[in-house]
Amino acid sequence: MGYIFDPEVLHTISKSVVGLPHDEMFKALIEKIDAHYPNRIVKKTRWVFNTANGAMGTMTILYGSLSEYILIFGTPIGTEGHSGRYFAEVHDFVIEGEMWTYHENETTRNTFLPGDWAILPFRKAKGYCIKENGWMLEYARGVIPAMLPMGIWDNLFSNLDIRSLWFTFWDYGKITIRELLKGKI
């Protein structure tokens, strides 16, 4: 299966916006991804609450298909939770703040700072903590629809945030249908 996005390129782009003022950082990140991958990402963003596996933050979906997604995720106040275990690999490029992780059979933390790249391999899981004002570009490739239950369960059954759930499905669905019509999965 071919993929549109290259994690090495996304990492380079992410590192290039580190240190910019907060809102300018997001704008520059989106512009640079769009310049490298023209007409692929959404440039008009909507920030939506996301509560998944115990961690709450806010996200904006930039790209979605059946095999890839790109989003910006973070929190101004900090959060922690379980990563989930997927039929996909997840790449987190820290652009502001700090993220701590640990994997099964690890008793010390891994620390990721702005410019760092954390990878969650296919079918692996980790605990993670995003410190206050922690933000990242997240890219996943694999069986994306199989990830959706983790991404919606807390919003649907725990905090009853139907509005955030609606916008998550609307934004991801709209982008994915656009890609399917282009012949991309």
Give the Cβ contact number of residue 119 at 10 Å: 11
User: pTM to 2 decimals?
Assistant: 0.92
Stretches in the chain below the pLDDT threshold 50: none
- pLDDT for 132 equals 96
Are 61 and 42 within 8 A, CB to CB? yes
Instruction: Give me the pLDDT at residue 35, please.
Output: 97
- Which pLDDT value is given to residue 1? 54
So what's the pLDDT on residue 167? 87
Which residue segments constitute the domains of the chain, with CATH numbers given?
A: 7-181 (2.60.120.10)
